Structure 1
Amino acid sequence: MQDFIHDKRVYYSPIEFAMSYIGGTWKMPVIRALANGPLRYGDLKNAIPHVTDKMLNTQLRDLEKKGMVTRTIFREKPPRVEYALTDRAMQSIPAIEALENYGRKLMELEAGEITERRS
C-alpha cells in the first residue's frame, strides 16, 4: 500500500491510521461507554474506572477533534454537557469489540499458564 499522509504525518498502513483514532489506554473505553447513547461527563467518568479527570478531558478533546465524539451544551441552569458518538465512531465499535474479545482470551490463556506454572 502507498504511504498515506494526514495532518503532516505519514502512515504506513491502515491499521496504524485506525489506531491513531482509537488507540491508547483510554479512547476505546470512552467509545465503549458512549456506545449505548450520550452521557454527561460525570456518568462517563463513573463508567470508566481508573481514568483521571485530566486524561478523560484530554481524550474527549482529541476524539472530538477527530470527529469521533460530539459535545452538546444545554443552555440551562446549571449548564449540562453531553458527549455522544458520531457515525465515524460507531463504525469502530465492531473492531473494538473484536480487540476486547481477543484481549479477554489472551488474559484467560495467561492466567491459565500462570496457574500451570505454580502447580
Structure 2
Amino acid sequence: MSKIKETSTNYENKQTLSADCVEIYAATLISGQWTLAICCHLSYGKLRFGELRKRIPNITERMLTLQLRKLEENKLVKRTVYAQVPPKVEYELTKSGQQLRPILNQLEEWGKNHQQWQAE
C-alpha cells in the first residue's frame, strides 16, 4: 500500500474534495478493501490481532497491520497494549468508530437489495 505524494495533483484533488464535501471526507476514512471488514468484525467487540486475522482469512499480516494503523490514525480504532509476557494487544472501535454501526447495517441492507436487483 503506497501513499500518494503530497506534491501530486491526485493528492491535491483528494484534499480539496475532502474539504469541500463532508461525504467524501467520510468515505475516504472508511475507504480501502479491508477497512469495512475490519470495522464490521470490531463492531462486535474487542479483538486481538490473531483473532482478526482468522476472521479475515485472505488478508495478509502486513496489510492487516497497515489497515489497523490507518484506522488508529483516523481515530476509528483504539489499540490497547497490555504489559505482560507474551505481549497482549487488543483492538476496538472508538466512540467515533462505533457510530459506524448503523451505517454498516444500512450498507448490509443496501448490499442485499442490490444483489437481488442484479440477479433479476
Shift of residue 109 of structure 1?
A: 2.4
2:62 is matched with: 54
Letter in 2 for 1:98: Q
2:75 alignment partner, one of 64, 67, 82: 67
Q: Secondary structure at the match of 1:84?
A: strand
- Tell me the C-alpha RMSD between the 2 structures: 1.5
Q: Secondary structure at the match of 2:80?
A: strand
Unaligned runs of 5+ in 1: 1-7, 114-119
Task: Determine the C-alpha separation between the residues in 1 that align with 2:28 and 2:57.
Answer: 23
1:29-54 deviations in whole A, cap 9, x for unaligned? 11110111110001011112321212
Task: Determine the C-alpha separation between the residues in 1 that align with 2:54 and 2:87.
Answer: 19
TM-score normalised by L of structure 2:
0.80
Task: Determine the C-alpha separation between the residues in 1 that align with 2:36 and 2:47.
Answer: 15
Letter in 2 for 1:42: G
When Rg is computed on C-alpha atoms for both structures, the one with the higher figure is 1
1:34 is matched with: 42
1:9 is matched with: 15
1:21 is matched with: 29
**Percent sequence identity over aligned pairs:** 35
Task: Determine the C-alpha separation between the residues in 2 that align with 1:18 and 1:35.
Answer: 18
Task: Determine the C-alpha separation between the residues in 2 that align with 1:52 and 1:103.
Answer: 25
Q: Secondary structure at the match of 1:102?
A: helix
TM-score normalised by L of structure 1:
0.80
Q: Secondary structure at the match of 1:108?
A: helix
Matched length: 105
